[in-house]
Amino acid sequence: MELVKVGAQTYYLKNPTNIGIYKIDENNVYLIDSGNDKDAGRKILKIIAENGWQVKGIINTHSHADHIGGNKIIQERTNCVILTSPIEKCFTEFPVLEPSFLYGSSPFKELQNKFLLAEPSQVLPIAKNLPVGLEYFSLKGHSGEMIGIKTSDDVYFLGDALINAETIQKYHLFYLYDVKEYLNTLDYLENLKGKLYIPSHGEATTDISSLITLNRTHIHTIAKKIFDFCHVKVTFEEILSYLFQEYNLTMNANQYVLIGSTVKAYLSYLKTENKLDYEFNENKMWWKQVNNTSY
């Protein structure tokens, strides 16, 4: 992890999941997210100690394991508060909800891994508990109630609201809970005016316009691929298999639930937009284009 100062009170740790740091006074800091596991938590604590700081709180942008994985060890060692939005609070306090939510039932052993299942931590609602100098705002879409954080240095921490070009080029399909809300978030981000923007995965930047365009274009590319594939009646499993073959991806249990859930988010979006509809036949659910529609 590399500590980078980006404002009078604002820092971040360059990491596979970037970690924000905000000094509320000379000795005390709030973290923005905590990394993917207890090892990340230990590294964060080491850097905090080396700088003579103490962790007073953690703000989680959302409850995915790579953002809350360090929560427990940091909270146990510092007695810090943890803040997030109401829905993400539930998943952070009861992380088994995440693989259960993705799978749709009690998760089997292979889904109970650190990529999907963090350790639990105790959380307070962010409303009325946020320290002076920080603001939060809604960034729904990637998860149910993801938030971003703005610091007094006009630095924006954006969680997973923007996916970097390298990730899109490598994986093509990235997790989404609600496609429409994600597109709304991209529209919202276009109107932000800040000095620096820090996505959770990728480089800090002073200009997010091209990244917004890339993400929006890619969302519509995936949606159109699904729409076009449904020119005949197909099942969800056929759509999922098609996309993995189209992008030369390899299926495993984690990918099945993550990308499977994402495909369902696209189907919900296309259904809501009256592009696709479904029917039941032979005890299967079939998806097909709505007559006389296009994408």
Q: Which residue ranges form the domains of the chain, and what is each CATH number? A: 2-219 (3.60.15.10), 221-289 (1.10.10)
CB 116 within 8 A of CB 99: yes
Under 8 Å between Cβ of 5 and 49: no
Q: State the residue for tokens 């007094």.
A: 152
Q: What is the pLDDT of residue 146?
A: 98
Question: What is the token pair recorded at 233?
Answer: 């009646």
Residue 45 near residue 38, CB atoms below 8 Å: no
pLDDT of residue 56: 98
pLDDT of residue 211: 96
**Stated pTM of the model:** 0.95
> Which residues of the chain carry a pLDDT beneath 50?
none
Closest CA to 15 of 38, 34, 31: 34
pLDDT at 53: 98
- Strands 28-32 and 54-59: what pairing? parallel
Tell me, what's the pLDDT at 254? 96
Give the CA count within 13 Å in the CB-facing half-sphere of 216.
Answer: 14
CA–CA separation, 183 and 250 (whole Å)? 27
For residue 244, the model assigns a pLDDT of 96
List pLDDT tens digits, range 165-223.
999 999 899 999 999 999 999 999 999 999 999 999 999 999 999 999 999 999 999 99
Q: What is the pLDDT of residue 106?
A: 97
